[in-house]
Each structure stands twice: as C-alpha cells, then as structure tokens.
C-alpha cells in the first residue's frame, strides 16, 4: 500500500509572499519544511512551480489555469492522498472550476480531506458534496501573516515603549504558528483532535435553534458567483444553514452580494444563517451586516441568525466541516455552542 500523502496546493493566489515571510528560498524548501513538521507517516508533496509563480493582476492574475486545475484534479483522484491543503486564498481560483473534473472523487477508494477558505469556497463546498470528500472551511497557513498582524493590532496592549509592532509580533510567531497549524491538520485527519466547538450568539430571527445543523456557504463574495451556476446544487441551502463571512470590502458591496441571495430565494429555503467575521480596515462590521440583513430576510421568515468571531478572516479560526451535522447546545438566552466530533474530520 503506498504511503499516504498530504498534498500542498496553491490553486488561487501563489505563495511567494508567504515564502518570504517564512524566510524560505523556494517552494521546494517549504515542502521539505512541512515534511519535517509532519514526520514520516505521511509524504508531503506539491508542485513547486505552481506554489510559487508570477502573479500580475494587470495581465489576468496567473497564466497557469490549466496546470493548476490538473494538479488539483490529480490529487483528488489519487486514493493515496489523505489531505489536500490550500496554502492560501486570494484570487484566480473560481474561474478554473470548468477545468476540473470533480467526478474523479466518485472513483476514490478512500476519503480525502480538503482544507481551504476564502477564494477556495467553491472547492470546499464541491468536495463536501461527495461521499469520499471531506470539505473543511479553514484558513490556509499563509493567512497567518495577515491574521497574526490583525490580532496584534486589535487585541494586544502595546502601551510600553519597547512593545513590538504588529509586524514584529507576527514575525516572531509565524514559524511556530505554522507548525501548530500543520499539527492540527494531522490531528484532525487522524481523528486525534477531539471535539471542535464554535460559540455563537443569536442576533436576529428565531431563538428556537434546532439541536443539529449542517452548513454550506463560506466567503460571501465567492458564494455569489456559484448561485445559478452548474455548481449551485452544492450550496443549495434547503434544510441547511448558510455560513457567510467576508472582509476588506465596503458594506455597500456586501449588500449587493446579499441581494443576489435574496433574489435567488435563499433566505426562504435555508434553515438558518451563521455569520462569521466581517471586517475591513475601519474595523468590525458585524453591526452593519446585521442591520443590512433586516432589509433582505423577509419578516415572515423567522430563521435564526447566529454570529461568531471564530470563523472567517480572523485568527484564531476554528475548522468548520461542510455537510456534516453539528450538535447545537443552548448556553444561555442568546448564546449557543456548535460541536463536531472527531469523525467529522477524519480521513485516516
């Protein structure tokens, strides 16, 4: 039996900035470094030229659409691949969906767990729709450069003359936190992680929250192009909850994306809404988003709307599996816990 693999991909934006932050000379060095963290049970693989390549948003972003699609499709098809980790989000992925034959998942003899978020929203939803696929909405490790800086800037006290800047704080912790990330992925796919719990509060709608809920959705601006597409079925909210999060945009643009869901009748079909982190450079936008939704969700639709700061473009972030029921427990008048057992994540 071949050695199980963990395959690193960058099917959205490339990882050059991440490599420089880690002070690694090449993508091959990154693969070797992750191998040291993972140990000998899994072989860590990736295509170096697809992990670190040129990116220019004035010339279409990336020139390697077909190659990226082939790399991802081959990993999805290979039953020796236990996990696929999208190193970062960014851009340029959604347009390559027509180049990927996801039906290869039907021929697998083992399950594969795929980790990604943001621009990888379609990938995670599509993989989670197959019996051999486990789709986990979870940050890529390259996000740590942004997430750690943001945490330092908003959560830490820096009132002493010699306190570190957010950039310095991130640089001091980046290697260690990346290692924590990959060890967490290992624990999840091996079933050693224990339960994952997300805490949320009810901000609108009914407080009669059911005892279980399955989720689809993800990044709001990337969910939107899936509506009405050939992939619409994988994010159809009928009898499921919609997870929605986004960042670094204006509330008026969020309103346009919400309008797409409104016009498509998503609020009437969903069982509930879980709002993850919404922010931009001006700060937290949850109040603005909650106010906005009052104009979109019809008054007669009394679905619960919960909000959490533990999912989205935030650090720390909890890994949320799609299409796997969470156990929901009411903690007090408007707070709830969503819990998934290790079986929701396990591949090996």
| 161 vs 294 pLDDT, higher one | 294
- Percent of the chain surpassing pLDDT 70: 98
State yes or no: pLDDT of 161 exceeds 80: no
State yes or no: pLDDT of 35 exceeds 70: yes
User: Where are the domain boundaries for CATH 3.40.50.10740 in the chain?
Assistant: 5-143+172-189
Among 59, 61, 139, smallest CA distance to 94 is for: 61
Fold of 5-143+172-189: Rossmann fold (3.40.50)
- Tokens, residue 257: 């994306």
Segment 234-273, tens digit of pLDDT: 999 999 999 999 999 999 999 999 999 999 999 999 999 9
Q: Summarize the confidence of residues 138-143 as an average pLDDT.
A: 98
Q: Which residue has the tokens 């997870």?
A: 243
pLDDT of residue 2: 87
3-state helix, strand, coil in the chain (%, to 5): 40, 25, 40
- Side-chain half-sphere of 21: how many Cα atoms within 13 Å? 24
pLDDT of residue 282: 86
**Cα 127 → chain centroid:** 13
**Euclidean distance between the first and the last CA atom of the chain, given in angstroms as a whole number:** 14
Give yes or no for a contact between 83 and 347, defined as CB atoms under 8 angstroms apart.
yes
- Percent of the chain surpassing pLDDT 90: 95
State yes or no: pLDDT of 1 exceeds 90: no
pTM exceeds cut of 0.85: yes
Q: Summarize the confidence of residues 170-187 as an average pLDDT.
A: 98
- Tokens, residue 56: 């220019």
Q: How far apart are CA 128 and CA 94, in angstroms?
A: 16
- Which ranges constitute the DSSP H helices of the chain? 16-22, 27-38, 48-51, 65-77, 121-128, 144-155, 166-189, 220-223, 251-263, 266-269, 286-293
Q: Summarize the confidence of residues 212-227 as an average pLDDT.
A: 97
pLDDT of residue 157: 73
Fold of 196-344: Glucose Oxidase; domain 1 (3.50.30)
State yes or no: pLDDT of 160 exceeds 90: no
Q: How far apart are CA 36 and CA 192, in angstroms?
A: 19
Segment 179-193, tens digit of pLDDT: 999 999 999 999 999
State yes or no: pLDDT of 95 exceeds 80: yes
Task: Output DSSP code: residue 198.
Answer: E
pLDDT of residue 279: 96
How far is the CA of 217 from the CAs of 5, 62, 112, 124, in angstroms? 28, 25, 20, 9
Among 291, 239, 301, 237, smallest CA distance to 266 is for: 237
pLDDT of residue 156: 87
Among 339, 321, 342, 318, smallest CA distance to 330 is for: 339
- Tokens, residue 330: 């009411």
- Tokens, residue 61: 């972003």
pLDDT of residue 158: 67
**Cα 181 → chain centroid:** 13
Q: Summarize the confidence of residues 16-42 as an average pLDDT.
A: 97
Q: How far apart are CA 116 and CA 124, in angstroms?
A: 7
Q: How far apart are CA 280 and CA 27, in angstroms?
A: 30
Q: Summarize the confidence of residues 138-165 as an average pLDDT.
A: 88
User: Where are the domain boundaries for CATH 3.50.30.60 in the chain?
Assistant: 196-344
State yes or no: pLDDT of 39 exceeds 90: yes
């Amino acid at each position: 039996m071949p050695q199980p693999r963990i395959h690193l991909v960058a099917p959205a934006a490339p990882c050059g900035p991440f490599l420089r932050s880690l002070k690694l000379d090449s993508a091959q060095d990154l693969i070797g470094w992750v191998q040291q963290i993972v140990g000998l049970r899994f072989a860590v693989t990736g295509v170096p030229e697809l992990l670190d390549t040129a990116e220019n948003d004035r010339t279409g972003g990336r020139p390697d659409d077909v190659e990226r699609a082939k790399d991802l499709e081959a990993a999805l098809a290979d039953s020796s691949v236990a996990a696929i980790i999208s190193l970062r989000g960014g851009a340029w992925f959604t347009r390559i969906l027509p180049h990927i034959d996801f039906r290869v998942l039907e021929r697998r003899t083992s399950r594969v767990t795929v980790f990604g978020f943001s621009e990888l929203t379609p990938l995670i939803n599509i993989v989670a729709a197959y019996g051999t696929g486990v789709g986990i909405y979870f940050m890529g490790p390259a996000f740590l450069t942004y997430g750690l800086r943001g945490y330092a800037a908003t959560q830490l006290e820096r009132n002493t003359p010699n306190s570190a800047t957010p950039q310095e704080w991130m640089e001091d912790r980046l290697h260690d936190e990346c290692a924590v990330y990959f060890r967490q992925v290992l624990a999840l796919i091996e079933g050693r992680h224990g339960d994952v719990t997300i805490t949320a509060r009810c901000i609108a709608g009914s407080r009669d929250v059911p005892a279980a809920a399955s989720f689809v959705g993800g990044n709001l601006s990337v969910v939107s192009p899936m509506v009405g597409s050939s992939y619409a079925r994988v994010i159809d909210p009928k009898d499921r909850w919609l997870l929605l999060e986004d960042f670094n945009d204006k509330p008026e643009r969020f309103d346009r994306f919400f309008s797409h869901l409104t016009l498509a009748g998503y609020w009437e079909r969903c069982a509930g809404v879980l709002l993850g982190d919404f922010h931009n450079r001006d700060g937290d936008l949850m109040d603005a988003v909650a106010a906005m939704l009052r104009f979109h969700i019809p008054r007669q639709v009394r679905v619960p709307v919960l909000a959490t700061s533990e999912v989205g473009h935030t650090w720390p972030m909890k890994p949320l599996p799609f299409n796997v029921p969470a156990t929901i427990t009411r903690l007090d008048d408007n707070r709830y816990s969503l819990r998934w057992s290790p079986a929701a994540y396990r591949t090996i």
